[in-house]
Structure 1
Amino acid sequence: QQCSACGHVDKKNRPDQETFLCTSCGFAEHADVNAARNIASRAVAGWAVSHAA
């Protein structure tokens, strides 16, 4: 539900299972592609990296 273009989060960004349409910036993409972009962005930022010893 997070826009990979602007970061806006809203449940309404997913009008159906396949569609992502940002209610803030208007970015439109297949929902799975948008999710993949968000995951990749978090990985690059180190969000998905474990820092456990």
Structure 2
Amino acid sequence: MDPAYTSQRCSACAHTDRRNRTDQASFVCTSCGFAEHADVHAARNIALRGAAGWAVSHTADDAA
């Protein structure tokens, strides 16, 4: 999966904006206000993408 914008995308509302990264350590969504440490937030987005990709790949296996 494309890792682009992982640190700028809000895991709560999916709003993506470079201004969501107020500084190196902070994430604050300019749309919904969700706030979290930037590294924790990026890890959450990566985990969500991985879970979604896993579900799609295994759904195809189950249909076969």
TM-score (normalised: structure 1): 0.84
Larger radius of gyration: 2
CA RMSD of aligned residues (A): 1.1
- Greater share of residues in helix: 2
Q: Does 1:3 align with 2:10?
A: yes
Identity of aligned residues (%): 72
Q: Where in structure 2 are there 5+ consecutive unaligned residues?
A: 1-7, 55-64
Q: How many residue pairs end up in the alignment?
A: 47
> After TM superposition, where is structure 1 displaced by more than 6 Å over at least 4 residues in a row?
none
Residue 21 (structure 1) shift: 0.2
Q: Where in structure 1 are there 5+ consecutive unaligned residues?
A: 48-53
TM-score (normalised: structure 2): 0.70
